[in-house]
Chains A and B, each alone.
Chain A
Amino acid sequence: MKKVLSAILAVAMSMSMFVGCSNQSAQSQTSAAAGAADSTAAGTTATTTITHWYWADNSAYSAKMQEMVKDFNATNKSNVKVVAQEYPWDGGAYSETLFTAVVGGGGPDTSSFKLTSTPQFTANKLLANLDTYVSKWSDKDDIDSSLYDTMKQAGGSNSMYVMPWNTQVLYVYYRPSMFKAAGVTVPKTYDEFLTACKKLTRDTNGDGKTDVYGFGMRGAKGGQEPWGSFIWARGGDFTDFTSAKAVAGMQDFIDLYKKGYVPPTATTDGFNEIIANFKSGKTAMTVHHIGSSADMVKTFGDDVGAFVFPAGDKQWTSMGDTENVMFDKCKNKDAAFEWLSYLATGKGQETWCTATGNVPVSKRVQQLPVFQDNKFMKVSIEGQPHAGIFPILDTTTEWISTVWPNTVASALAGKTSAADAMKTLQKGLYGTK
């Protein structure tokens, strides 16, 4: 009897596992179906659920996104229900998480997105082609055609896979009070900028130690963006990192570290560290975009200003972008596009850009007083003619997350020369492996 019972138990355990799998599979199917529609019943009452992924730089932006979702869900005429799920940006790891999820058959219907990830996603046929939707879209002309061209270039074809949302032009934040104390004026040339880094590095209490560093250098992931300005300022560019001019720009970057004009932690300082250092008064200048401006003003009031990274032989600043995409697996693309258009030109565009201070892509929203009267927005617009992006290749993501930070850290520590570091960076971006 005991043996019979144990046999039944063993079989039951085995069965329960399969039942578990089967239930899970059924649940997966249900969730997949829910992605398409909560109800298959015909008529206007059917609710279509769209899952959207996004990242937010702080908790206020998280709340704002949820507020927008609530507004969209309440006001859209097609009974679309968006469920927005937040994932951390984590220096670009967001894109990797998103790719892993979608390529594995999961992930959301729509997502916030960076242009640099486009080749990776289009090569795996993961993104929905938006050509038909955009061509029929009534708000199409509210976005400048050049932006559509940029979106198409990123995908390497004439089709559009990425929907514009907002841009961020990097500029230099500075503390006017520190400039005054050091007798420095806002630099108008690259050489003046380098001099300012030196003069602003000060021992303020006379104990023989540096209390304020001239520049908040970002050596961790994401630091390639401000670094690019140094390369261009010496006349280099991103087609050939090994050119003498590009190497000279790298040497300037190394010298700032070696001479002690930036915090010694610069090799591992990322977004959080450069912002914390600037806000605590440890650095007098740092590079970031308008997304930080509200927080800066909250901390310093009027004692914070901004200027475009100054011109040397050439002038360049990084144009950050945040776009949106719809995935090919999305079962209800019409509903998803309605959500994306709400973000691009609708109320979502106005709400998000007003909250974050990012540069809107909608011409209508750009004209609103809140953007016209903002000093940081003015600097962003001033920097736009010089703004660009890094080459979008299938190696770009790895280059940004691993190759650039480690190679530059090695150069800053004096383990590698500027020329050798640039050779490594060239190979990492344009090489085969």
Chain B
Amino acid sequence: MLRKKIDIWPYLLIAPALIIILAMVFVPAFNAILMSFQSYDLRRPSEIGFVGLSNYGEVLQDSLFWESLLRTVIWVVFGVGFQFVFGFALALLLNKKFKGRGIARSVSLIPWVTPGVLIGLMWRWIYDGSYGVLNDILLKLGLIQDKIPFLAQESTAFPSVIVTIIWQGVPFFALMLLAGLQGVPGELYEAADIDGANAFQKLFKVTIPSLKNTIFVTTLLRIIWVSNSVDVIFNMTGGGPAYSTQTLSVYIFNKATSLNLGYSSTMSILLTLLLLLVAVPYLKNMFKSQGA
């Protein structure tokens, strides 16, 4: 009898966190699922009601949805890919001993701790086609002859916002990988030295395999966060010009602020399913390799 009573303690202890998660995550998520099966447009309250799979049919026939989805893939592949490359390089650099390393580590975190809205506004002004500092620098260096309206033309707007998201995410990768690097036993490098391994061999045979799990987790987290990111793009371009920077999450946001909550919920559910398609095999593979 006494044993049974004791079993309740773990549940009691996690109860507050569980209740908060249920209220803040699961209830809204459940509501979003319900809304995706409804005509839920607050501009037309008299038409609110269940419509079955009609929203899904409409979304799948919406060319803007597919364009935004493709853009999301590009956004994630280039955004997260370059964040990893630069983040890894920065982590390796910050792992070396040099004068002022503490300050360099702190300063490198600035982009990560800056709010996304501020980053969006700041880069919008940096890129400004009339008064932006980037144009000024490029002109003075003689690299361009005329100012480039970076965010006002389709060909440059999307690459410009991708550069911004890379800038924002590099420190996160650097931080996580640096923590991982500090956990790699020095004996492994000593053994590699004895075996006559060069720097590249040590990187690919010792460092990267030791950081495999950190890389997996960090990349997965960034894929999810960058896919769902709205603040940077919204504050830089609002998804324009001509939808050229509209990712799926920005499209969802724009539809939601236009009060068509049924339609935006449907797109949210589809985005979640797509992210699960990426995340589940990814995690499975990770745990599998851990087991091995």
- Seen from chain A, the residues whose Cβ lies within 8 Å of a Cβ on chain B are 3, 6-7, 10-11, 13-14, 17, 93, 96, 99-100, 103, 119-120, 123-124, 209, 219-221, 263-269, 273, 276-277, 280, 282, 394-395, 397-398, 401-402, 405-407, 409-410, 413, 415-416, 433
> Judging by beta carbons under 8 Å apart, are A402 and B254 in contact?
yes
Within 8 A of A (CB), among B141-185: 146-147, 149, 151-154
Q: Indicate with 1 or 0, residue by residue over B231-261, a CB within 8 angstroms of chain A CB atoms.
A: 0000001111111000000000010011110
Check if B9 is an interface residue, CB within 8 A of chain A.
Answer: yes
The one of A120, A276, A394, A401 that contacts B131, using a Cβ cutoff of 8 Å: A276
Q: Which residues of A contact B15 (CB under 8 A)?
A: 10, 14
Within 8 A of A (CB), among B20-66: 20, 42-46, 58
Given A11-B12, A267-B152, does the pair A397, B258 have CB atoms closer than 8 Å? yes
Check if B79 is an interface residue, CB within 8 A of chain A.
Answer: no
The one of B46, B130, B238, B240 that contacts A273, using a Cβ cutoff of 8 Å: B130
> Judging by beta carbons under 8 Å apart, are A7 and B43 in contact?
no
Q: Which residues of B contact A219 (CB under 8 A)?
A: 152, 241
Given A124-B45, A433-B58, does the pair A276, B130 have CB atoms closer than 8 Å? yes
Q: Which residues of A contact B100 (CB under 8 A)?
A: none
Chain B contact residues (Cβ within 8 angstroms of A): what range?
Answer: 35 or more
Check if B186 is an interface residue, CB within 8 A of chain A.
Answer: no
Check if B16 is an interface residue, CB within 8 A of chain A.
Answer: yes
> Judging by beta carbons under 8 Å apart, are B242 and A123 in contact?
no
Nearest B residue to A399, CB-CB: B258
> Judging by beta carbons under 8 Å apart, are A409 and B9 in contact?
no
Given A6-B13, A17-B16, A415-B154, does the pair A99, B241 have CB atoms closer than 8 Å? no
Q: Which residues of A contact B20 (CB under 8 A)?
A: 17
> Judging by beta carbons under 8 Å apart, are B9 and A264 in contact?
no
> Judging by beta carbons under 8 Å apart, are A209 and B146 in contact?
yes
In the complex the two chains form, what is the Cα distance from A11 to B16 in whole Å? 9
Nearest B residue to A397, CB-CB: B258
> Judging by beta carbons under 8 Å apart, are B237 and A398 in contact?
no
Q: Which residues of A contact B242 (CB under 8 A)?
A: 267, 406-407, 409-410, 413, 415-416
> Judging by beta carbons under 8 Å apart, are B12 and A17 in contact?
no
Check if B273 is an interface residue, CB within 8 A of chain A.
Answer: no
24 A-B residue pairings within 8 Å (CB atoms): A3-B9, A11-B12, A14-B19, A120-B42, A123-B45, A124-B42, A209-B146, A220-B240, A264-B149, A267-B152, A267-B241, A273-B130, A280-B130, A394-B43, A397-B43, A401-B254, A402-B258, A406-B239, A406-B241, A407-B242, A409-B154, A409-B241, A410-B241, A413-B242
Min CB distance A214 to B, Å, is 16
In the complex the two chains form, what is the Cα distance from A413 to B15 in whole Å? 56
Within 8 A of A (CB), among B259-280: 259-260, 263
Q: Which residues of B contact A416 (CB under 8 A)?
A: 242
> Judging by beta carbons under 8 Å apart, are B149 and A406 in contact?
no
Min CB distance B244 to A, Å, is 8
In the complex the two chains form, what is the Cα distance from A220 to B263 in whole Å? 24
In the complex the two chains form, what is the Cα distance from A405 to B147 in whole Å? 23
> Judging by beta carbons under 8 Å apart, are B258 and A265 in contact?
no
Which residue, of A99, A267, A395, has the highest number of chain B Cβ atoms within 10 A? A267
Q: Supply 16 further A-B pairs (C-beta < 8 A) apart from A264-B149, A266-B152.
A: A6-B9, A7-B9, A14-B19, A120-B42, A124-B42, A263-B149, A265-B129, A265-B149, A267-B240, A268-B151, A276-B131, A401-B258, A402-B254, A406-B242, A409-B241, A433-B58
> Judging by beta carbons under 8 Å apart, are A413 and B154 in contact?
yes
Interface SS majority for chain A = helix
> Judging by beta carbons under 8 Å apart, are A268 and B9 in contact?
no
Q: Top 9 closest A-B pairs, CB basis? A: A409-B241, A410-B242, A265-B129, A398-B258, A394-B43, A10-B12, A409-B242, A267-B241, A268-B152
- Seen from chain B, the residues whose Cβ lies within 8 Å of a Cβ on chain A are 6, 9, 12-13, 15-16, 19-20, 42-46, 58, 128-131, 146-147, 149, 151-154, 237-243, 254, 257-260, 263
Given A14-B15, A17-B20, A415-B242, does the pair A120, B9 have CB atoms closer than 8 Å? no
Given A3-B6, A219-B241, A268-B237, does the pair A395, B43 have CB atoms closer than 8 Å? yes
Q: Which residues of B contact A99 (CB under 8 A)?
A: 42, 259
Min CB distance B260 to A, Å, is 8
Q: Which residues of A contact B12 (CB under 8 A)?
A: 7, 10-11, 14
In the complex the two chains form, what is the Cα distance from A10 to B19 in whole Å? 12
Which residue, of B12, B42, B241, B258, has the highest number of chain A Cβ atoms within 10 A? B241
The one of A124, A264, A397, A410 that contacts B152, using a Cβ cutoff of 8 Å: A264
In the complex the two chains form, what is the Cα distance from A217 to B152 in whole Å? 13
Nearest A residue to B150, CB-CB: A265
Q: Which residues of B contact A273 (CB under 8 A)?
A: 130
Nearest A residue to B154, CB-CB: A413
In the complex the two chains form, what is the Cα distance from A415 to B152 in whole Å? 14
Min CB distance B123 to A, Å, is 14
In the complex the two chains form, what is the Cα distance from A48 to B238 in whole Å? 40
> Judging by beta carbons under 8 Å apart, are B16 and A14 in contact?
yes
In the complex the two chains form, what is the Cα distance from A291 to B260 in whole Å? 33
Q: Which residues of B contact A263 (CB under 8 A)?
A: 129-130, 149
> Judging by beta carbons under 8 Å apart, are B241 and A268 in contact?
yes
Q: Which residues of B contact A405 (CB under 8 A)?
A: 238, 240-241
Which residue, of B15, B154, B240, B254, has the highest number of chain A Cβ atoms within 10 A? B240
> Judging by beta carbons under 8 Å apart, are A123 and B152 in contact?
no
Min CB distance A22 to B, Å, is 14
Nearest B residue to A398, CB-CB: B258
Nearest B residue to A210, CB-CB: B146
> Judging by beta carbons under 8 Å apart, are A406 and B240 in contact?
yes
> Judging by beta carbons under 8 Å apart, are B130 and A277 in contact?
yes
Q: Which residues of A contact B43 (CB under 8 A)?
A: 119-120, 123, 394-395, 397
The one of A7, A93, A267, A282 that contacts B130, using a Cβ cutoff of 8 Å: A282
Q: Which residues of A contact B58 (CB under 8 A)?
A: 433
> Judging by beta carbons under 8 Å apart, are A267 and B153 in contact?
yes
> Judging by beta carbons under 8 Å apart, are B45 and A96 in contact?
no
Nearest B residue to A21, CB-CB: B23
Q: Which residues of A contact B146 (CB under 8 A)?
A: 209
